[in-house]
Amino acid sequence: MNRTELINQIFTKKSFLCIGLDTDIRKIPKHLLSLEDPIFEFNKLIIDKTSKYCVAYKPNTAFYEINGLNGIISLYKTINYLKSSYPNHFIIADGKRGDIGNTSSMYAKSFFKEMDVDALTVAPYMGADSVIPFTKYSGKWVILLALTSNEGSSDFQLFENKYGERLFEKVLRTSSKWGDKDNMMYVVGATQGKMFKDIRKIVPNHFLLVPGVGAQGGSLQEVCKYGITNECGLLVNSSRAIIYADETVAFADIAAIKAYEIQQEMAKELSKLNI
């Protein structure tokens, strides 16, 4: 999915919601556990009920890898189901890969050729040669970690050099030369608030993938106040607050209600753009 197609989906659906498929077999409704592939069945029902309210899905690979071969099969089945049944949805593999050049090349081929997702989260710590291999695939996106929402984000990301430049700002300035707004996004946590204003000074037109709304307490309104652009420029992710909103047989219907509520808030924010 290219940038124009993604933007069209956002304004057509009046939504920039990304739903995280962080599917933990210990948390899914008990009545699914007797099925052959409970993880896939859970994902399928969530997708079927929420697809009209979101533009993207983001399976976190750790929740599948922990289940060994069966988990990988569940992940592939989920991605294939999205591609065949909901082809207008943007698919992000949240794997946070990044290694020396030849290893990154293998990761890139694995996710972009074999798995055929639209985007992959990538860690920038090892520098250009660990990231550039992911930019070689036409129509695919690198989503680079920039300023995250976790408690330990300040351990390194806010470190200032002698010129007053913080590390996340260095990451943004340097990495923006490795790709462009058509193939590179950045992860910025919703809990970072006014930091979005500083980020937009460096990457005014890049899309930002924003986790942390919902269970982590980030404010959608604050994210939009400082981070939204005339093309939206945001994919706001919600995982637990949607997919684990209910544990009964009605879990997918309740997830749809939660997704709808967020979509309605997003529609209000998009209406302020006067486009």
Marked catalytic residue, from 44, 96, 109, 181: 96
Our answer to whether residue 96 is catalytic in this structure is: yes
CB neighbour class for 57 (10 Å; exposed up to 12, middle 13-18, buried from 19): buried
| β-pair partners for 237 | 18
Whose tokens are 């590390």? That residue is 167
For residue 56, which amino acid is it? Answer: A
Going by the DSSP 8-state scheme, the letter that residue 112 receives in this structure is I
Cβ atoms of 267 and 45 within 8 Å: the answer is: no
The tokens for 5 are: 């197609």
Q: What is the pLDDT of residue 191?
A: 84
Supply the pTM of this predicted model.
Answer: 0.96
Answer whether CATH 1.10.357.10 is correct for domain 3-268.
no
What would the pLDDT profile of 172-196 be if each residue is shown by its tens digit?
999 999 999 999 999 999 888 889 9
Instruction: Please report, for the chain, the start and end positions of each structural domain, with discontinuous segments joined by +.
Output: 3-268
Q: What would the 3-class secondary structure string for 194-240 be?
A: CHHHHHHHHCCCCCEEECCECCCCECHHHHHHHHCECCECEEEEECH
Coil, strand or helix at 137: coil
What would the pLDDT profile of 184-232 be if each residue is shown by its tens digit?
999 999 888 889 999 999 999 999 999 987 656 678 999 999 999 999 9
Task: Give φ, ψ of 8 to 5 degrees.
Answer: -60, -40
What would the pLDDT profile of 128-141 be if each residue is shown by its tens digit?
999 999 999 999 99
